């Protein structure tokens, strides 16, 4: 059996391996078996989904798997990924499940699992679940199934959205309000389409809503954090003070300032980290981010006596490093921000409220507070492939080694396979923009030649 788990849970095109109803049910049985070991009580799992059509297919498959393994199931309905993590922890559930492919289009879906403390699973636990799925394929599922009188029950959890909203609002300073602030929010026709506008409204903002009419097929389509052009137009049209763009499961944030400029995660992290340091809320010596963050962010942090710790791409790897170091802030250039004082995973709305709090307290515009980092030229291009990983080809490896030698200390090169899509991501940065562009093009051409 091929590996199920990638960078962020299990993900793929619906009705193709591994994103089938059968696999979803088997993963639920396997996870139920693994996490049931040693428990002396009847276990409970929370299950939520985003707004894509296939949620109606995958949710009952997961329910069937968990109940057959002896678990009670609480259904949350459409809910952001960070809500599942937060509610799993606050309700002392034994497991949380989010059905979402995050920023991917509607035809993909995914399974994200959270342990009882609200954290994504470790590689070791994922391997245990995969081993149980493989065992079921070989000898049947009987070893993991409950006796007939021990089958689980299912009910919908009323008030889940309200509980999560209060947790998010608690991250905003008690002495501040958003009164008088015009905030445009693009919910990507995704999981936060009701929750995000309501949070902003209850905190006093004048809210302009986009991407709040999901139809099962339009999640992330020309909207949200990966396509902020619609938000840019809306900010200009209504004269908003700021635009907030979430992705389909609301665990990432991209901002548009009042001038229509798109602000990525590096600028947002710089602002939050500096504010936390100045208010003595930053634990540790800096922030954790990934290899994709711009060298300009690292230089900014150094100028304020802060460190940058880099990890491989994936917010769970950021969080693991944060926990190892005892630090309380980290994130990704793509917009995942983890503020561990308030959340156990990336939360777009929690990050947004930190930015809004700075704007309100300092009485400054978004363009003024989100202008701390001077980025060096950075180019990122993707090459789609089929079949074998083109990075394994000797010709590609030789070119990468040559380019790294040519770069020397003048730039940085990051080339990796996507953990969620059949893509090779080629990124280079350095002070010479022309050199950076040429380097990326050379490597992309070599990868394309091997891509099938």
Domains and CATH numbers, the chain: 10-158 (3.40.120.10), 163-369 (3.40.120.10), 378-449 (3.30.310.50)
Q: What number is the average pLDDT over the span 419-431?
A: 86
- pLDDT of 21 higher than 80: yes
Query: According to DSSP H, which parts of 117-159 are helical?
Result: 123-139
- pLDDT of 206 higher than 80: yes
DSSP-derived 3-state class of residue 448: helix
Of 163-172, 402-411, 431-440, give the lowest mean pLDDT range.
Answer: 402-411
- The whole-angstrom separation of Cα 437 and Cα 378 is 8
- The whole-angstrom separation of Cα 260 and Cα 258 is 5
Please report the pLDDT score of residue 2 as a whole number: 63
**Confidence band for 322, pLDDT divided at 50, 70 and 90:** very high
Please report the pLDDT score of residue 56 as a whole number: 97
Catalytic hit among 100, 102, 132, 293: 102
102 is catalytic: yes
The pairing of beta strand 72-78 with beta strand 154-156: parallel
**Confidence band for 388, pLDDT divided at 50, 70 and 90:** confident
Of 13-22, 199-208, 225-234, 309-318, give the lowest mean pLDDT range.
Answer: 309-318
- pLDDT of 409 higher than 80: no
Please report the pLDDT score of residue 422 as a whole number: 84
- pLDDT of 237 higher than 80: yes
Please report the pLDDT score of residue 452 as a whole number: 66
Q: What number is the average pLDDT over the span 134-152?
A: 96
Extract the tokens encoding 450: 């091997």
**Confidence band for 195, pLDDT divided at 50, 70 and 90:** very high
The pairing of beta strand 44-49 with beta strand 253-257: unpaired
Q: What's this model's pTM, rounded to 2 decimal places?
A: 0.90
């Amino acid at each position: 059996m091929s590996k199920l788990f990638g960078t962020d849970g299990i993900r793929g095109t619906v009705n193709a391996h591994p994103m089938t109803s059968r696999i979803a049910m088997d993963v639920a049985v396997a996870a139920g078996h693994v996490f049931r070991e040693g428990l002396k009580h009847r276990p409970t799992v929370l299950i939520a989904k985003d707004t894509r059509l296939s949620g109606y297919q995958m949710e009952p498959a997961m329910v069937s798997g968990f109940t057959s393994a002896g678990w009670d199931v609480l259904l949350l309905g459409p809910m952001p990924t960070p809500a599942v993590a937060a509610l799993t922890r606050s309700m002392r559930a034994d497991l949380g499940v989010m059905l979402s492919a995050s920023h991917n289009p509607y035809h993909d879906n995914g399974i994200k699992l959270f342990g009882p403390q609200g954290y994504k699973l470790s590689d070791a636990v994922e391997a245990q679940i995969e081993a149980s799925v493989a065992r079921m394929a070989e000898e049947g599922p009987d070893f993991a199934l409950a006796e007939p009188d021990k089958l689980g029950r299912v009910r919908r959890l009323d008030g889940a959205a309200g509980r999560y909203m209060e947790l998010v609002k608690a991250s905003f300073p008690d002495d501040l309000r958003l009164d008088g602030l015009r905030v445009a929010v693009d919910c990507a026709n995704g999981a936060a389409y009701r929750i995000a506008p309501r949070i902003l409204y209850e905190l006093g903002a004048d809210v302009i809503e986009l991407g709040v009419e999901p139809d099962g097929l339009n999640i992330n389509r020309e909207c949200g954090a990966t396509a902020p052009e619609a938000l840019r137009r809306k900010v200009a049209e209504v004269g908003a003070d700021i635009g907030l763009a979430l992705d389909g499961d609301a665990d990432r944030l991209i901002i548009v300032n009042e001038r229509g400029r798109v602000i990525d995660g590096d600028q947002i992290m710089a602002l939050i980290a500096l504010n936390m340091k100045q208010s003595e809320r930053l634990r540790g010596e800096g922030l954790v981010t990934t290899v994709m963050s711009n060298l300009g962010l690292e230089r900014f942090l150094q100028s304020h006596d802060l460190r940058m710790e880099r990890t491989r791409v994936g917010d769970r790897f950021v969080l693991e490093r944060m926990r190892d170091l005892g630090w309380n802030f980290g994130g990704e250039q793509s917009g995942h921000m983890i503020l561990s004082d308030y959340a156990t995973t990336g939360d777009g709305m929690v990050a947004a409220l930190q930015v809004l709090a700075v704007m309100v307290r300092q009485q400054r515009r978004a363009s003024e507070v989100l202008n701390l980092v001077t980025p060096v030229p950075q180019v990122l291009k993707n090459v789609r492939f089929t079949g074998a990983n083109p990075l394994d080809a000797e010709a590609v490896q030789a070119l990468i080694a040559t380019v790294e030698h040519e770069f020397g200390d003048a730039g940085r090169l990051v080339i990796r396979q996507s953990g969620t899509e059949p893509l090779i991501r080629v990124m280079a940065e350095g002070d010479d923009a022309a050199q950076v562009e040429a380097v990326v093009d050379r490597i992309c051409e070599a990868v394309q030649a091997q891509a099938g």
